[in-house]
Structure 1
Amino acid sequence: MSEIQIITKDQIEDLFHANYKNLCMVAVRYVDDLDLAKDLVQEFFVYLLNKQEQIQLRTSFEAYAVRSIKFTCITYLKRQKGKIIYQSDNLPETAFDPFGLIEDENLKTETYTKLNTALKNLPTERRKIFLMSNVEGLTYAEIAEINGISVNTVKTQIKKAYATLRTELFAKTLIALILFLKKGN
């Protein structure tokens, strides 16, 4: 059985300096906004400072902090759920061709337009789930938790999104989409 560790107020400043940067990197992975990530990490340390006498760690502080930041970010995203709707100006910039698959600039523009149109034509919730998975890099479980749906619903929506995109796009465009979306993961 693990030894229980209690954090003192004197340790919190040292823990802040030792872990702040890494925790910000964890948070930015979820919220995709550095300033927001910094705010959430700072809020975690304020919470820690206010509740430190009630917190008993059974793992390392680093593991506890990473898990806390993850859930803080997921909670934040849940609260923002009603406000997040991917519109045309929020779609990923897919004109970027990281693997040089499309040499002709006109073809690149045409491909981007077709892809953007196909993404816009997806039902709103399906598009949101698809982009959360493929652009934001969230896991199916994270998407399910944020949206208050089951993991199977997430899988089904992503599968249907790919099927729709496959029928609407040329094979070369779909390959470019998949390679582009997976480059960040």
Structure 2
Amino acid sequence: MEEERLLERCRKGDERAWAEIVNRYWGLAFRVAYRILRHKEEAEDAAQDAFVQVYLALPNFRHQSQFRTWFYRIVVNCALARLPPSPVELLDESQQVELVEGAHEDPEGIVLARERAQLLDWAIKQLPPEWRTVFVLRELEGLSYAEIAEVLGIPIGTVESRLFRARQRLRQLLKPLLGDG
């Protein structure tokens, strides 16, 4: 209810309401874009592009879906439009540290967790964009199959199929590297 009022205020040109929308959704936009693009500056640009598109399209948003779902769709499309033709860098050091904060306290455990995070990052980048996007939205963002289908405009069966293939490919890539087979 509060969000609907905020969106209505945005439609009427209220700059404070727009700033609140940006504050609420910037983290989500950057996180999704980064997980698809795996490059900080490109993710920031994709997030900014998404906010411009949202701002321009907001007068036409009719609540046929939740704002968050509509917003995800725009962010994903902006990120996919920026996918580079070549691989991008691994996570930088500060992001690796964030990923392993919950790891063992001993130095060896931290190093192993960091290496696994780098391997997972590398493996995710090897996925075709359509598999990577579904994997990111489900496994890293926690969206339901129905939400992913709505965000991407594809049937739930296609979501299931792409997610299955993404998981299968990740297992193929990671199993020999992690010494589990």
Query: TM-score band (shorter)?
Result: 0.5 to 0.7
Which residue is equivalent to 1:178?
Answer: none
What percentage of aligned pairs have identical amino acids? 9
SS at match of 1:57: coil
Which residue is equivalent to 2:74?
Answer: 72
Partner Cα distance (2:51, 2:13) in 1: 13
Contiguous gaps of at least 5 residues in structure 2? 35-42
Indicate whether 1:26 and 2:28 are aligned. yes
Partner Cα distance (1:156, 1:124) in 2: 12
Partner Cα distance (1:133, 1:45) in 2: 28
Which residue is equivalent to 2:18?
Answer: 16
Equivalence map 1:94-173=2 (5 Å): 96=97, 97-98=100-101, 99-100=103-104, 103-104=107-108, 108=111, 112=115, 124-125=126-127, 129=131, 133=135, 137-138=140-141, 142=148, 145=152, 150-151=158-159, 152-170=161-179
Shift of 1:22: 0.9
| Aligned pairs, number | 153
TM-score normalised by L of structure 2: 0.52
Which residue is equivalent to 2:53?
Answer: 43
Shift of 1:31: 1.2
Larger Cα-atom Rg: 1
TM-score normalised by L of structure 1: 0.52
Does the CA contact (< 8 Å) of 1:31 and 1:37 recur in 2? yes
Does the CA contact (< 8 Å) of 1:7 and 1:56 recur in 2? no
Which residue is equivalent to 1:90?
Answer: 90
After superposition, the CA RMSD in angstroms is 5.0
Does the CA contact (< 8 Å) of 1:133 and 1:140 recur in 2? no
- Structure 2 counterpart of 1:137, which letter? L
